[in-house]
């Protein structure tokens, strides 16, 4: 299905469909008219001799100087002067998400550009063009370096009008596009962590009272109630409901599973809400009001709402990953489970079983916790352009760290699922819940039981992909 850009209704799901599934894109007729109207305001302002930042003047500390008559030369210099990106290229899906956000931001009609420019970006998307965009070198006070890379690879012989070079680089399309994919992937990961957590409860023979509906009623956070509902659905029909619990109270990482995942869900919902606004926002300077006939100097390139939301989400994800690792470690310990040490198939021999997965999962979580450190309050410099540019959001770094953290989280969940499957087998494969039984079958299709004399499965990549693709809940 074609994604129609109006500047107001772009969703996270649509970003994923365009970025990863190649969905086609088109501009809404109303968006074309809105852009034409705002461009008319710009042309009128320029004809009247009004100074418009980046349209009739230079930028940064050169804003005091008028642009020479050769507008095309200025536009080229503005773009090429920002080609300072560093490091490896961004993945193709991140570039496509950036292009989609850029086109939708233009379509909103506050940027003061011609509709032909937005149509160019849409055409390049539909043609499958993905310029090389380097991931490093932007402080997020507009993604100048990344956007310059993008635009330099998109324009070809397209001739820009006054101010259009500034609009193309002075926005946060890269941060927003990258964040949209990372937040979407975080939602998939959290669903998988719910499955793995429910599976842990069965593997540990834990007390299922922790997911009693009254727990959520007593403390009505939306995320907690949603998590309890999800865990109960996964455990429907499980043996846990028909046997006496082994323990009155299990270790905290089992007991607080709904609370920890619920907090992450609330943070995820907040980040999703911020993203919906940013995906449908003009993030640049100036703001052109077609209805008011004005060109307004503003600071909409400061996307601290998104940068802070990404920090919040990473901070909330860290306890979920730490708890997952701790549950996996507990499942390997005989005094806590009543199963063989390391979940070895033969309990009285010096066989390691799955013990060394404990060290692996701790290493992954340690790295993930470091990525949770907030970045939105960092201040890279106060000297840029005579001290004028004295704010940064570090939004690209925040988005990139979330993507990296989610990638590590998928590996944590894969180890957790593998260990839980081994424990369930050693318990004689009791009756599992509707959702956890499906998870068990999917894991066992990819990793077999570690039998007597065998060591850990050497490769969990197929289980990692199971987590990343969302197949656990399909």
Give the per-residue pLDDT at 336: 97
Distance CA(235)–CA(201), nearest Å, equals 9
Distance CA(260)–CA(268), nearest Å, equals 13
CATH 3.40.190.10 fits 180-473, yes or no: no
Give the per-residue pLDDT at 328: 98
Distance CA(272)–CA(180), nearest Å, equals 8
Distance CA(402)–CA(300), nearest Å, equals 23
Token pair 């930042």 is found at: 53
* pLDDT one digit per residue (tens) for the chain, 474 residues: 999 999 999 999 999 999 999 999 999 999 999 999 999 999 888 888 877 665 766 565 455 455 666 677 788 888 998 999 999 999 999 999 999 999 999 999 999 999 999 999 999 999 999 999 999 988 888 999 999 999 999 999 999 988 899 999 999 999 999 999 999 999 999 999 999 999 999 999 999 999 999 999 999 999 999 999 999 999 999 999 999 999 999 999 999 999 999 999 999 999 999 999 999 999 998 999 999 999 988 888 999 999 999 999 999 999 999 999 999 999 999 999 999 999 998 877 667 889 999 999 999 999 999 999 999 988 766 556 666 777 888 999 999 999 999 999 999 999 999 999 999 999 999 999 999 999 999 999 999 999 987 888 889 999 999 999 999 986
Give the per-residue pLDDT at 77: 85
**Sequence-separated contacts (24+) of 342-346 with Cβ below 8 Å:** 343/419, 343/422, 343/423, 343/426, 343/450, 344/450, 345/426, 345/449, 345/450, 345/451, 345/452, 345/453, 345/454, 346/452, 346/453
Q: What are phi and psi of 284, to 5 degrees?
A: -120, -170
Distance CA(171)–CA(284), nearest Å, equals 5
Distance of CA 119 to the CA centre of its chain: 27
Collapsing DSSP to helix, strand or coil, 280 comes out as coil
Instruction: Look at residues 225, 106, 212 and name the one whose alpha carbon lies nearest to residue 160.
Output: 106
Check if the beta carbon of residue 109 is closer than 8 Å to that of residue 281. no
Q: What's the CATH fold of domain 3-171?
A: Fumarase C; Chain B, domain 1 (1.10.275)
Is the dihedral angle over the CA atoms 29, 35, 37, 39 positive or is it negative? Answer: negative
- Among left, alpha and beta (phi > 0; psi -120 to 50; other), residue 328 is alpha
Distance CA(387)–CA(195), nearest Å, equals 51
Token representation of residue 377:
């309050």
Token representation of residue 429:
């494969």
Check if the beta carbon of residue 225 is closer than 8 Å to that of residue 216. yes
Check if the beta carbon of residue 337 is closer than 8 Å to that of residue 271. no
Distance CA(323)–CA(340), nearest Å, equals 22
Burial of 452 (0-12, 13-18, 19+ CB in 10 A): exposed
DSSP alpha helix (H) spans, 208-289: 213-218, 222-234, 252-255, 257-279
Cα distances from 288 to residues 34, 41, 291, in angstroms, run: 11, 7, 9
Domain edges within the chain: 3-171, 180-473
For residue 292, give the DSSP letter.
T
Token pair 């109270």 is found at: 249
CA angle 143, 94, 279 (to 5 degrees): 65
């Amino acid at each position: 299905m074609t994604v129609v850009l109006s500047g107001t209704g772009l969703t996270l799901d649509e970003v994923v469909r365009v970025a990863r599934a190649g969905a086609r894109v088109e501009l809404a007729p109303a968006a074309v008219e809105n852009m034409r109207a705002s461009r008319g305001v710009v042309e009128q302002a320029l004809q009247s001799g009004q100074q418009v930042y980046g349209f009739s003047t230079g930028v940064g500390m050169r804003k005091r100087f008028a642009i020479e008559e050769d507008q095309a030369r200025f536009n080229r210099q503005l773009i090429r002067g920002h080609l300072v990106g560093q490091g490896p290229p961004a993945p193709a899906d991140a570039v496509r998400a950036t292009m989609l956000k850029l086109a939708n931001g233009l379509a909103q009609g506050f940027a003061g550009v011609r509709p032909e420019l937005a149509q160019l970006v849409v055409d390049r998307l539909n043609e499958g063009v993905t310029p090389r965009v380097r991931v490093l070198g932007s402080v997020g006070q507009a993604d100048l370096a990344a956007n310059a890379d993008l635009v330099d690879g998109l324009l070809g012989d397209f001739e820009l009008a006054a101010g259009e070079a500034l609009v193309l680089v002075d926005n946060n399309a890269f941060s927003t596009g990258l964040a949209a994919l990372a937040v979407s992937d975080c939602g998939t990961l959290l669903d998988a962590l719910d499955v793995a957590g429910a599976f842990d409860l069965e593997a540990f023979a834990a007390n299922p009272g922790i997911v009693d509906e009254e727990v959520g009623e007593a403390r009505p956070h939306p995320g907690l109630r949603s998590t309890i509902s999800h865990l109960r659905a996964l455990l429907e029909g499980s043996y846990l409901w028909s046997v006496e619990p082994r323990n009155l109270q299990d270790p905290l990482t089992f007991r607080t599973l709904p609370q920890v995942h619920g907090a992450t869900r609330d943070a995820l919902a907040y980040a999703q809400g911020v993203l919906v606004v940013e995906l449908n926002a003009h993030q640049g300077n100036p703001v052109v009001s077609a209805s008011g006939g004005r060109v307004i100097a503003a600071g909409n390139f400061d996307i601290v709402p998104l940068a802070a939301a990404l920090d919040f989400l990473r901070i909330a994800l860290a306890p979920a990953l730490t708890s997952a690792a701790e549950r996996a470690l507990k499942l390997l310990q005989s005094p806590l489970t009543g199963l063989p040490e390391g979940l070895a198939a033969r309990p009285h021999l010096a066989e390691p079983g799955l013990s060394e997965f404990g060290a692996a999962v701790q290493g992954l979580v340690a790295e993930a916790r470091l990525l949770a450190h907030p970045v939105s309050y960092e201040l890279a410099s106060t000297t840029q352009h005579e001290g004028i540019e004295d704010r940064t959001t570090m939004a690209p770094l925040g988005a990139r760290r979330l993507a990296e953290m989610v990638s590590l989280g998928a590996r944590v969940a894969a180890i957790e699922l593998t260990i839980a499957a081994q424990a369930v087998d050693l318990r004689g494969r009791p009756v599992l819940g509707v959702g956890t039984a499906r998870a068990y079958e999917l894991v066992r299709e990819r990793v077999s039981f570690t039998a007597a004399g065998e060591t850990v499965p050497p490769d969990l990549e197929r289980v990692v992909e199971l987590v990343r693709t969302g197949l656990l809940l399909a």
